[in-house]
Structure formats: structure tokens, C-alpha cells
Structure 1
Amino acid sequence: MTHNPCLSDMSKRVHRFPLFSITALLHINSTSALMLGRGLTQVTHIKLLLFFQTRHTG
């Protein structure tokens, strides 16, 4: 079996990278995704409300 230098370099980088920063990045990403999702649902609700209001009044 041949030794893959690229693979060992990758594993060294992963071990050098602190775990807390990985979890922090994941937390930031999930939080921003949640906020984006909430914002989109709010915008959709507002658009639907406006759409129904204009249809009923017009």
C-alpha cells in the first residue's frame, strides 16, 4: 500500500484546526439560515396579505 502525502497533509490540517471554531462556524451558519428563513416567511405572509387585501378591495 502506497502512502498518500496529500491525505496525510489534509489530516494534519484538520487536527490543527480547532474544534470550537468549526462548531462556531456551524452555529453561525445555522443561525443565519434560520433568520433568512424567518425573514422569507414574513415577507411571504405580508405579500399574501397585501395580495388578498387588494383583491377584495379592488
Structure 2
Amino acid sequence: MTIEAHLATLEKKHFALEAELHAAMNQPSSEDQTIADIKRRKLRIKDEIERLRGSSH
């Protein structure tokens, strides 16, 4: 897999987690731990995206 393809995949996952986070935050039944987990996964993906972008320059 090329770096560009990997970046595209990570960006899609990041976007999906963003949507999942908004849905969880809008549901009163969502637990804080669930929201924190989504944020943590989103941050890991963002860090990986930034690392890959930095290595491709």
C-alpha cells in the first residue's frame, strides 16, 4: 500500500470516527467512557496521519 493510499484510508476512518463522536455526543444515553474512547481512537489516527505526512515530504 502506498503512503497516499494509507493516508486516504486513515482519513476515511478519522471522518467516520468524527461522525460516530457527534452521534454519541447527541445521545443522552452515551457514556462518557464511550465518548472518551472515540476521541482517543480519533487522536491516534490523527497522529498517524500527521506522522505519515511528515515522512512523505
- TM-superposed CA distance for 1:25, in Å, is 0.4
- RMSD of aligned Cα (Å): 0.8
Give identity over the alignment, percent: 6
State whether structure 2 residue 39 is matched by structure 1 residue 21: no
State whether structure 2 residue 47 is matched by structure 1 residue 34: yes
One-letter identity of the residue aligned with 1:39: L
- Which protein has the bigger helix share? 1
Q: Which has the larger radius of gyration?
A: 1
Would you say how many aligned residue pairs link Structure 1 and Structure 2? 31
Three-state SS of the structure 2 residue aligned to 1:17 is coil
- TM-superposed CA distance for 1:33, in Å, is 0.2
> Which of 1 and 2 has higher RCO (CA within 8 Å, sep 6+)?
2
TM normalised by structure 1 equals 0.50
TM normalised by structure 2 equals 0.51
